[in-house]
Amino acid sequence: MGRSRVRILLAGEPRAEVDSHARDLLTQGFEARRVESLSAGSAGKQDIVVVAGKYQPSVHAPARIADLVGPLKSRAILFLSDMDPQSFSVFEQAGFSFINVTTDMSVKSLVGLIAQVDPHAVYQASKTAALRTSVSNGIADAVADLFGRLRANPVAPPLEESARQRRAMDELIGKSPMSVWMDLIQNYHDGTAQHCALVSGYTLAFARALGAGELQTGRLFDAAFFHDVGKAMTPLEVLDKPGALDPDEWEIMKRHVVHGYDILSRDPHTSGEIARVARDHHEYLDGSGYPRGLRAGDIDDITRIITICDIFAALTEKRAYKPPKPTEEAYSILLSMAGTKLDPDLVRVFEKVVAESDGGQRPVKSAA
C-alpha cells in the first residue's frame, strides 16, 4: 500500500507573503495551504508545518513556535526572512532542525528544506507536477491543432472535439487548484490556444459555481470551447501583434465573431446555440458591443456567462505584450462593468471562480 500524500501546512504573517509561498508550492505539485492555527486533529503525522513570514523576535520565540507545531516539531520548517545568526543558534538549541539559513526566500529554497524533512514528499510533488504539465500541454496542443486545421480549411469542427477537451480539463482541474491550472495554461506559447483553454476552464468552474447540471455544463463548455473559432480567419500579424491595434486592425479583429458564426453554422451540431455565442460574446447589455449592438433583452444567459469568462481570461492571461493582471484587479474591472455591460447577478456568482483562481486565499469584493 502506497504512502498517502504529504500536506504542507503554512502558518505565519504577513498573510500575503505566506499565501504567496503556498501558491508557489501548489505550482510545484505539493498539496499546500495556509492555516490560521494547528488545532488538535487538523494535522496528520505525515504533514509538514512551515512557519513562514518575516522574523519577529516577540512573535517567533522558540517556546511559542514549539507550542504551535506541537508533535510535528520534528517535521517543522522555519522559513523566516530577516533572522539574525544568533536567533538561528537559539532555535537549533531548542531542537528545531530545519531552518532557512540563507537570504533566499524562493520556492526552490523552501523545496530544498522540504526535501530534508521528507524526500518522498518532493518525489510525490514532482510526479504530480509532471502529470499536470503533460495534461495542460495536451489541452493547449489540441486547441492549437484545431486552429491550424481551421486556417487551412474553415469547416465546422466535430462536436466530439469539445467533449475530449472537457474530459481533459475536468481531469486537470479536478487534480489541481484553479490557481495551479491557470499558471500551467498561461505558460503555453500559442496565444489563441491559451485564451480558448482559459475561457473553457473558467466556464467549467463557473458552471460548478452556478450549480449547473451535466447537460447544462456540457452546453456551456461547448459554447466556450468554440467561441473564438473565427480567429482562424484573422491574419496572424493582427492576432500576434506585440502592441495595441490601430483602427483598421481593430476592425479586422472584430470580424472574428462573424467568421466564427459562419464556420459553425455550416454544421447542424454547432449551427444553433454554439454559433450564436460565437457571434454574440462581445455584445454588452447597454448596446455598446459588437457586431450587432444587441441590448440586454436580446442577449441570452449562456452568452452572458461566456462573455464574463472571456473578459476575465483576457485580463488574467499572460501574453508576450502584457503581463497577466492579478485576479482581484481583473475582478474589479468586471465589477465596474456589472449592471451596464455585464449581468450583475452573474458577476456576483463569478466571485467564487475568482477566489478559486487565487488559491482560495484572498477575499474579493462582491458585486453590489
- Verify that 188 and 325 share a domain, yes or no: yes
- Verify that 70 and 179 share a domain, yes or no: no
Residues of the chain with pLDDT under 50: 1, 40, 360-368
pLDDT at res. 240: 86
Residue 64 inside a domain? The answer is yes
Cβ-based burial of 243 (10 A; exposed 0-12, middle 13-18, buried ≥19): exposed
Domain C-terminal end among 100, 117, 134: 117
- Verify that 203 and 228 share a domain, yes or no: yes
Give phi and psi for 99, each to the nearest 5: -130, 135
Beta-bridge mates of residue 322: 319
29's torsion region: left (phi>0), alpha (psi -120 to 50) or beta?
left
Q: Residue 22 maps to which CATH number?
A: 3.40.50.2300
Bond before 268 cis per omega within 30 degrees = no
pLDDT at res. 227: 97
Whole-model pTM: value is 0.83
Q: Residue 195 maps to which CATH number?
A: 1.10.3210.10
pLDDT at res. 242: 84
pLDDT at res. 38: 67
pLDDT at res. 155: 94
Domain C-terminal end among 117, 141, 165: 117
Residue with cell 492571461: 317
- Verify that 150 and 272 share a domain, yes or no: yes
Residue 191 inside a domain? The answer is yes
pLDDT at res. 41: 53
What is the span of the domain harbouring residue 21? 7-117
- Verify that 191 and 88 share a domain, yes or no: no
Residue 362 inside a domain? The answer is no
Residue 364 inside a domain? The answer is no
pLDDT tens-digit map of 134-190: 999 999 999 999 999 999 999 999 999 999 999 999 988 887 888 888 888 887 878
SS3 track for 96-138: CCEECCCCCCCHHHHHHHHHHHCHHHHHHHHHHHHHHHHHHHH
Q: Give 145's contacts (C-beta < 8 A, 6+ positions apart).
A: none
DSSP states along 184-245 = HHHT-S-HHHHHHHHHHHHHHHHHHHHT--HHHHHHHHHHHHTTTGGGGGS-HHHHT-SSPP
| Distance from C-alpha of 18 to C-alpha of 10, rounded to nearest angstrom | 7
Residue 367 inside a domain? The answer is no
- Verify that 59 and 200 share a domain, yes or no: no
Domain C-terminal end among 63, 94, 117: 117
| Distance from C-alpha of 120 to C-alpha of 127, rounded to nearest angstrom | 11
How many structural domains is the chain composed of? 2
- Verify that 79 and 150 share a domain, yes or no: no
- Verify that 228 and 158 share a domain, yes or no: yes
Residue 212 inside a domain? The answer is yes
- Verify that 152 and 170 share a domain, yes or no: yes
Residue 368 inside a domain? The answer is no
- Verify that 11 and 87 share a domain, yes or no: yes
The answer to whether 52 and 82 are in contact (CB under 8 A) is: no
- Verify that 353 and 206 share a domain, yes or no: yes
- Verify that 90 and 146 share a domain, yes or no: no
| Sign of the CA dihedral with 299 first, then 218, 253, and 184 last | positive
